[in-house]
Structure formats: structure tokens, C-alpha cells
Amino acid sequence: MRTTPPQLAAALARLEPFSAITDSFTADKIVGFLPVLLPYAVGLDLAIWTAGLLLWLGSNGYWPGAALGSFLSLYPSLAWIVVVTFTLLGGLVIVGIAFFFYYIVTEILLKSSNTSPPTK
């Protein structure tokens, strides 16, 4: 079943608090699609805990995801923009984290290989 962003917004308004990233790793049926779905999951968590948190502070929602879902249910076209934007941001976060770890590991390896005293 295909879920559109306005349907996702309506579902968010009714759901209990959750983490899309954690659910992605614990779901059995989508493990094969994890590389494709991970930017979406990271983006959804970013949306919930940034935009949703700001909306939640000004409303009476149960949790930030419910506040975001209620708001996006009123504006379906904005729901599409939020999902696309935060999915792209999720992909950038994943690439940034991967690059950060690659940089740290290469720096550690380079420093460990250059620890011997220089020979004359």
C-alpha cells in the first residue's frame, strides 16, 4: 500500500511517539530496502524533532509528531514539500556522518602510522 505525505501527516497525528530510524532497523520486511529508506527515516525523524517540536511548543499535541501531523493535515501541499525536503536533508546527514567517520578513521590511521621517530 502506497502512503502519500498527506496520509502520513494524518497517521502522525494519531500515532504514539516513535523513531523512524529505530523502526527501520527493527522491521523485518524492509531490511533489504534499508539503504533506500534510511534517508527517508532520518528525514522523518528530523522533521518530527525540528519542525514538529517547534509546532508542539505552540500547540497542545501529545508529542511533536502529532503536532506536525495535525499541522500538515491542514496543508497537504506543504506535506509534500516537508517530506521531500527532509528526505533530502536525511540523505545529506547520512553522507555527512559517513564522511565524518571516514575522515576520523583516516586521521587516526595516518597518525598511528607516523608515530615512529624519523630516521636520519
51-82 pLDDT, tens per residue?
Answer: 999 999 988 778 898 889 889 989 988 999 99
Q: Is 101 inside any structural domain?
A: no
Q: How far is CA 25 from CA 19, 33, 37, in A?
A: 10, 10, 10
Query: Domain tally for the chain?
Result: 1
Give me the domain span that covers residue 78.
Answer: 5-90
Q: What is the mean pLDDT of residues 110-115?
A: 73
pTM above 0.85, yes or no: no
Q: Is 58 inside any structural domain?
A: yes
Residues ≥6 apart with Cβ < 8 Å to 91:
39, 42, 43
